[in-house]
Chain A
Amino acid sequence: MNNKKNRKFTFNTQIVLLLIVTALWVFLSISSSYFLTYENIANIMRQMAIQGILAVGEVVVIITAGIDLSVGSVVALVNIIMSKMVVSGTPIWISILSVLALSTGIGLVNGVVIYDMRVPAFIATLGMMTIARGATLLISNGSNVFGLPRSLATFASGSFLGIPNLFWFLLLTVVAIEFMLRNTTFGKYIYALGSNPEAARLSGVNLRLVTYGVYALAGFLWGLGGVLETSRLWMGVPTTGTGYELDAIAAAVLGGASLFGAEGNAIGAFFGALVMITIYNGAVLLNINPFWQRILVGIIVIVTVAIDQIRKRRET
């Protein structure tokens, strides 16, 4: 373990992840001739868009050493409310703005509960997860909402410059959040909060505003995910989004985020989501029992994080 050697073999999480993705893609293109077709790749992009956006939101929360479990339920709530609004004749733009405001507000409430009431993020957002799901079921009476305009569905299946519309949203989100994390004061404060809140406070960081900001931003992204979900499903489904929080956390962690805070970034979360979607997509193509997909994803999450931990221990 001398110096030069060490530097040459410093894998960071992203490189490990990139290797996994490449291996998966090579393997899948050999095993299925359909895999590398434009159609399938566009399909992967469409599937990935929403999950990717949620993973990016989750990573921001995780960097502060927090967590947000309300993801899936807020997506469902947004999906149902937006569907109801549109069906009852509210213009689409107004519906979208209102649900985004709603989800951002929900995030803000999470922030208030976590910062001002000192409820641990896990519990606070677990509560919010249950509340939002309950509200969704209440509003929808447990049944799907039909009758959305065709334009919504067309938008979800459409593309711009050959890239599916939905995927553009993911790209924009990744670029914007990565820019924010790297280049803005807010971004620096997020990492500082995650590494040592007391030191951050004594350095003049307003922890309250940062906490509010982070959870509100996360809420906004859940809302965006919910809007895209509505367009993709072309109806309101009260049970949608179940388990999304776990996918989002898994993708964030795969992408190098540490639940202890101060580590992770948006690009990592993007690749994390890509790995997971590739597995889901590949499993379908190879006709693997869908139940196996979950097992596979679980194994990959554990193995990647374990490799990462071993690498870190080596360095000390």
Chain B
Amino acid sequence: MDKYAVQLVNISKSFPGVQALKDVTFTLKEGEVKALVGENGAGKSTLIKILTGAYVPDKGEIYVFGKKVERMTPIISENLGISAVYQNLVLAPHLTVAENIVLGSEPRKMRIFVNKSKMLEKARKVLAEVGYENIIDPNEKLGNLPVAQQGIVAIARALSRKAKVVIFDEPTAVLAKRETEELFRIIKDLKERGVSVIYISHRLEEIFEICDTVYVSKDGKFVGEMPVSETDEDKLISMMVGRKLRKEIYAKRNIGNVVLEVENIKNKKLKGCSFFMREGEIVGLYGLVGSGRTELARAIFGADPIEEGKIQMEGKPVHVKSPSHAIKASLALVPEDRRRHGLALKLSVRDNINLPIYKHISRLSVINHFMERSIANDFVKKLRIKTPSISTIVMHLSGGNQQKVVIAKWLASKSKIFIMDEPTNGIDVGAKEEIYHLMNELASEGAAILFISSYMPELMGICDRILVMRDGKIVGDVPREEMTEEKLLTLAIKEKNGEVSVNE
């Protein structure tokens, strides 16, 4: 019965300046759902990419369904029935949703032409399987969708392959609760059909919900493997991080005057949003994918136009025309989509961190390289960004470490109002704690933080209040004492609009 779907034996892989994997052996049985956990930069994605042929290992052997594969390539791996949802969605943004789903296995007409109607039909069918048939239009250009929906498309694409091994590299990083539940249903379905699954996530409770076994790696090495029934979160964390975490992350802070007041702002996606933030406050913003949280953040920051409504900062009306205005007004936005909006991937860690503040660390526009380097080094240390050096190109960092660079970049800006859109996206448990700590510190020093997240536990853990958004409107403002998962969720998914509006 216990046949292996995948065996990776004694795999090593190095990149300039880093040994990403050291003699790692990883196996996956048929029908098994195995979690792969470890800190940022532990080598999880690298291992996956070796299995899918995206990287060639320096050393080691690959067996798929018992057969040795001499030189794995993406095509061989796909033909062997391996299909992956990569961490940084490798989809084609210029193609439509349907084209992305069938890419590489397009239904044909007379062998050379793509059969458009078949393609659409196929796309609709897989979208229906994941429960998104009427939400995502298969004819829409992929690049126009929000990240979460792009994530769904990536999942649909992987499922459409009828694969025997499906790999999910942090699929829930951008998904809210409802989408996550949908995904879990899909994974359970896959398991029932005998498909093997590799599941990577930094949200450990998910692993206990859907996985059979968990495999822990640290610094490119194997540290342990066990059935999930024989372990718990704390044990996993100490294996991964090597220390215990503080459970309580909330810190009592002094709340001061109102620093930001948003009144009834509207644009294409926003149907009238009002809220305020005070000095020293961490305000959560919850909502399902597509509820307009990201659009609200972008509108306040001047990244998207506002058609109606007012914004006041420290009691004075401001007109934020562009991000550079916003930055001058002491606003900072950690954007949701790090690769598209957050990072200049071809530039170094140092350049990315300093990009918003070059004006301040230069004289007559000549940059003070000493400050530039010391700021970068400082944040690399503070956030434990795993990188060979500050001049390493950001593209070469692991997903979580890239995210840390985006956060560092805005922490360095010394702003007063921070809008953080899914800042802990892809960040490991230990580093998350670090980031909550830094957020608390910022707020204690008088900053106001708008913390957008799809992950309720972290919102409830750190926020003074949580705003809930639905269909482009803010429909709730829940103080700390009244926070429960049910309450937030009901507000977020209430079918009829406007009934529970707690807003003044």
Across the interface, do B14 and A192 meet the contact criterion of CB distance under 8 Å? no
B358 CB contact (under 8 Å) in A7, A188, A263 = A188
Q: Which of B359-416 contact A (CB under 8 A)?
A: 359, 362, 365-367, 369, 409
Bound-state Cα–Cα, A198 to B301, Å: 14
Which of A2, A7, A10, A198 has the most chain B CB within a 10 Å cutoff? A198
Any chain B CB within 8 A of the CB of A3? Answer: yes
Cβ contact within 8 Å between B341 and A1: no
Q: How far is the CB of B391 from chain A (nearest CB, A)?
A: 12
Whether B113 is near chain A, meaning CB under 8 Å from some CB there, is no
Chain A nearest CB from B161 CB (Å) reads 24
Q: Are B367 and A184 in contact (CB under 8 A)?
A: yes
| Segment of B75-83, B150-158, B343-351 in the binding face | B343-351
Cβ of A184 and Cβ of B344 under 8 Å apart?
A: no
Segment touching B, from A78-86, A122-130, A201-209, A265-273: A201-209
- CB neighbours (8 Å) of B16 from chain A are 3, 6-7, 10, 315
B58 with A1: CB separation less than 8 A: yes
Distance between Cα atoms of A263 and B342 in the complex (Å): 19
CA distance A284 to B326 in the complex (A): 59
Q: Are A188 and B367 in contact (CB under 8 A)?
A: yes
Contacts of A3 in B (CB 8 A): 14, 16-17, 19
Q: Is the beta-carbon distance between A201 and B323 smaller than 8 angstroms?
A: yes
Query: Considering only CB atoms, which chain A residue lies closest to B335 in the complex?
Result: A202
Q: Are the C-beta atoms of B344 and A191 separated by less than 8 Å?
A: yes
Question: Chain A: how many interface residues by the 8 Å CB criterion?
Answer: 31
Q: Does B435 have its Cβ within 8 Å of any Cβ on chain A?
A: no
Bound-state CA distance A192–B366 (Å) is: 16
| A272-B200 Cα distance, complex, nearest whole Å | 46
B362 touches A2 (CB 8 A): no
Contact A206 B324 (CB under 8 A): yes
Looking at the assembled complex, report how far the CB atom of B388 sits from the nearest CB atom of chain A, in whole angstroms. Answer: 10
A185 to B360, CA, bound (A): 10
Residue A316, interface by CB 8 Å = yes
Report yes or no: A263 in contact with B346, Cβ–Cβ below 8 A.
yes
- Assuming A3-B16, A188-B355, A316-B55, is B324 touching A183 (CB within 8 A)? no
Tell me which residues across on chain A come within 8 A of B351, comparing CB atoms: 188, 191-192
Most chain B beta carbons < 10 A, residue from A186, A189, A199, A262: A199
Report the bound CA distance from A3 to B341 in whole Å. 33
A261 to B365, CA, bound (A): 22
Q: Which residues from 470 to 493 on chain B have a C-beta closer than 8 Å to any C-beta of chain A?
A: none
**B303 interface residue (CB < 8 Å to A):** yes
In the bound complex, CA of A188 to CA of B333 (Å): 20
A83→B121 CA distance, assembly (Å): 68
Q: Which residue of A lies closest to B369 (CB)?
A: A183
Nearest opposing residue in chain A for B338, CB measure: A199
> Which residues from chain A contact B342 at a C-beta distance below 8 Å?
199, 202
In the bound complex, do residue B346 and residue A261 qualify as a contact, i.e. CB atoms below 8 Å apart?
Answer: yes
- How far, in whole Å, are A7 and B18 apart by their CA atoms in the complex? 11
User: Given A195-B346, A196-B343, do A184 and B365 touch, yes or no (CB 8 Å)?
Assistant: yes
Q: Which residue of B lies closest to A198 (CB)?
A: B341
Question: In the complex, how many angstroms separate the beta carbon of B324 from the nearest chain A beta carbon?
Answer: 4
Contact (Cβ within 8 A) B362 A185: yes
- The reply to whether the CB of A305 lies closer than 8 angstroms to some CB of chain B is no
Given contacts A183-B366, A188-B367, A203-B355, are A2 and B344 in contact (CB under 8 A)? no
Given A3-B16, A196-B345, A316-B55, is A185 in contact with B359 using a C-beta cutoff of 8 Å?
A: yes
A200, CB-defined interface residue at 8 Å:
yes
List chain A residues, Cβ under 8 A from B55: 316
Cα(A192)–Cα(B409), bound, Å: 14
Chain B residue numbers with a CB within 8 Å of A263 are 346
Q: Is the CB of A203 within 8 A of B346?
A: no
A202 touching B323 in the complex, CB below 8 Å, given contacts A2-B58, A315-B15: yes
The proximity string for A residues 209-243 relative to B, scoring 1 for CB distances below 8 Å and 0 otherwise, is 00000000000000000000000000000000000
B369 and A192 contacting across the interface, CB-CB below 8 Å: no
Which of B14, B322, B327 meets A6, CB within 8 Å?
Answer: B14
**Contact residues in B for A191 (Cβ distance below 8 Å):** 344, 346-347, 351
User: Is B356 interfacial (CB 8 A cutoff)?
Assistant: yes
> Secondary structure at chain A's binding surface: helix, strand, loop or mixed?
helix
Per-position binary interface string of chain A over residues 243-265, scored 1 when its CB falls under 8 Å from any chain B CB and 0 otherwise: 00000000000000000011100
Chain B residues with a Cβ closer than 8 Å to the other chain, count = 37
Contacting B at CB under 8 A, from A149-205, are: 183-186, 188-189, 191-192, 194-196, 198-205
Whole-angstrom CA separation of A194 from B344 in the bound complex: 8
B340 contacts chain A at the CB level, 8 A cutoff: yes
- B365 and A192 contacting across the interface, CB-CB below 8 Å: no
Residues of chain A with a CB closer than 8 A to B409's CB: 203
Residues of A within 8 A of B333 (CB): 202
Say yes or no: B327 contacts A262, CB within 8 Å: no
* Distance in angstroms between the alpha carbons of A263 and B58 in the assembled complex: 28
A262 touching B346, Cβ below 8 Å: yes
**Complexed CA–CA distance, A202 and B335 (Å):** 9
Are B303 and A184 in touch, CB under 8 angstroms? Answer: no
Across the two chains, which residue of chain B brings its CB closest to A196? B344
Among residues of A, the one whose C-beta sits closest to the C-beta of B354 is A188
B347 contacts A192, CB within 8 Å?
yes
A57–B355 CA distance with the chains assembled, in angstroms? 24
What is the CA–CA distance of A203 and B344 in the complex, to the nearest angstrom?
10
Query: What B residues does A199 contact at CB under 8 A?
Result: 340-344, 355
Chain A proximity of B171: nearest CB distance (Å): 23
Q: How far is the CA of A188 from the CA of B327 in the complex (A)?
A: 18
Q: Is the CB of B347 within 8 A of A202?
A: no
Residues of A within 8 A of B367 (CB): 183-185, 188
| Contact residues, B75-115 vs A (CB, 8 A) | none
Q: How far is the CB of A12 from chain B (nearest CB, A)?
A: 12
**Distance to closest chain A CB from B418 (angstroms):** 14
* Nearest opposing residue in chain A for B301, CB measure: A202
Distance (whole angstroms) from the CB of B321 to the closest CB of chain A:
11
| B366 engages A184 (CB within 8 Å) | yes
Residues in B neighbouring A2, C-beta threshold 8 A: 14, 58
> How far apart are the CA atoms of A185 and B366 in the complex, in Å?
7
Which residues of A are found within 8 Å of B328, using beta-carbon distances?
Answer: 204
Least Cβ distance of B183 to chain A in Å? 28
Least CB separation from A6: chain B residue: B16
Minimum CB–CB distance from A177 to chain B (whole Å) comes to 14
B residues within 8 A CB of A315? 15-16
Find out whether the CB atom of B14 lies under 8 angstroms from the CB atom of A202.
no
Q: List 6 A-B contacts (CB under 8 A).
A: A191-B347, A198-B340, A201-B303, A202-B341, A203-B409, A206-B324
A-B CB proximity, top 7 nearest: A195-B344, A262-B346, A204-B327, A195-B346, A204-B324, A203-B355, A185-B358
Which residues on B are within 8 Å of A, measured CB to CB?
A: 14-17, 19, 55, 58, 301, 303, 322-324, 326-328, 333, 335, 340-347, 351, 354-356, 358-359, 362, 365-367, 369, 409
